[in-house]
Amino acid sequence: MASTKMVLGISLILVAIVVLTAFFIYTQAGSSSKVPSGKFSEKPSGNVTVIVGLDPNYPPFTFVTSNGTVEGFDVDLMTYIGNYCGFTPVFKPWDWATIVTALMNGDIDVIASGMTITAERSSKIAFSIPYYSYRLLVVTKASENRSLSELLETGSRIAVETGSDADRIVESWLNKGYKISKVPVESYPAVIDALATNRADLAILDSAFLYPYLDSRPELRSALKIIGDLGVRAYGIATRPDDYWLRNCINRAIEEAMSSTVYSDLLSKWGLNQ
């Protein structure tokens, strides 16, 4: 695993974010011309609470500790954004498979939990500027000798988190006729567990999760290996399309954090600047 580990330093993260911002601009084109009508289309008066939906088991971005508190990179970032914009974030763990629907229905106001910016999601919700980039990796057991192409043609079982970008990719592979089956699970740690316990032959995982997770579990690092790289993607903070003020303020806060030491300090705190 160590020999295949990609070095995602702060400079690479920022360069990739600049490139991926072009995709963000394209997917959000034309939204500014709409007449404001959302809950946060304009700056509210008085004390403002913003409900932040998150995956309760996606370390180091968002997770619930043994004493019930919510922690992680995105929690700290949203706390900073709340202070910058003048609102109080209230963190609410949510099932990832239904979290987009929850945002659209108003059950939550924001998704801040390592959510990948995609064209499909952008047709329903709106993203902030990208704030973190990563590589989407295909992982298998260290003892596996077959290549990725061979595994895709031999009935392999692929573990993915339900509702994730990896889930969508496996669906596209199934539609192309690959001889695979999907093993849907509820979280990224459960994806690794499915692979480690032989309930799956392959897993698709974000490097942003995989590397810090395996750093704390050396026995798993030696048992797994990367056999595929599906390219660079980026996380954004999701809002409802009409919540212009909220999204614009989130963007300004992210830019402010990145132009200061706040962003790099958070990367170091959560082991994401390696």
- Report the chain's mean pLDDT, rounded to a whole number: 89
Look at residue 38 in the predicted model and tell me its pLDDT: 82
pLDDT tens digits, one per residue of 87-141: 999 999 999 999 999 999 999 999 999 999 999 999 999 999 999 999 999 999 9
Backbone CA torsion sign across 122, 22, 52, 116 = positive
Look at residue 221 in the predicted model and tell me its pLDDT: 87
Helices 73-85, 262-269: inter-axial angle, 10-degree rounding: 160
Region 209-236: what's the mean pLDDT?
93
* CATH 3.40.190.10 residue window(s) in the chain: 10-133+234-269, 134-233
Region 51-75: what's the mean pLDDT?
97
Contacts of 68 (CB under 8 A, 6+ apart): none
Determine whether domain 10-133+234-269 maps to CATH 3.40.190.10.
Answer: yes
- With DSSP H G I counted as helix, E B as strand and the rest as coil, what are the percentages for the chain, rounded to 5? 40, 25, 35
Region 50-76: what's the mean pLDDT?
97
How does residue 37 score in pLDDT terms, banded at 50, 70 and 90? low
Rounded CA separation 237/246 (Å)? 11
Confidence check: pLDDT of 25 > 90: no
Rounded CA separation 34/28 (Å)? 12
Rounded CA separation 236/228 (Å)? 24
**CATH code at 134-233:** 3.40.190.10
pLDDT tens digits, one per residue of 155-187: 899 999 999 999 999 999 999 999 899 999 999
What is the three-class DSSP state of 33? Answer: helix
Structure tokens at 198: 């032989």
What is the three-class DSSP state of 45? Answer: coil
| pTM assigned to the model | 0.84
Structure tokens at 72: 């992680």
Region 232-245: what's the mean pLDDT?
97
Edge-first strand listing for the sheet containing 126-127 = 88-93, 49-54, 110-111, 238-239, 126-127
Confidence check: pLDDT of 35 > 60: no
Region 196-215: what's the mean pLDDT?
95
Confidence check: pLDDT of 238 > 70: yes
Confidence check: pLDDT of 67 > 90: yes
Using an 8 Å Cβ cutoff, are 159 and 202 in contact?
Answer: yes
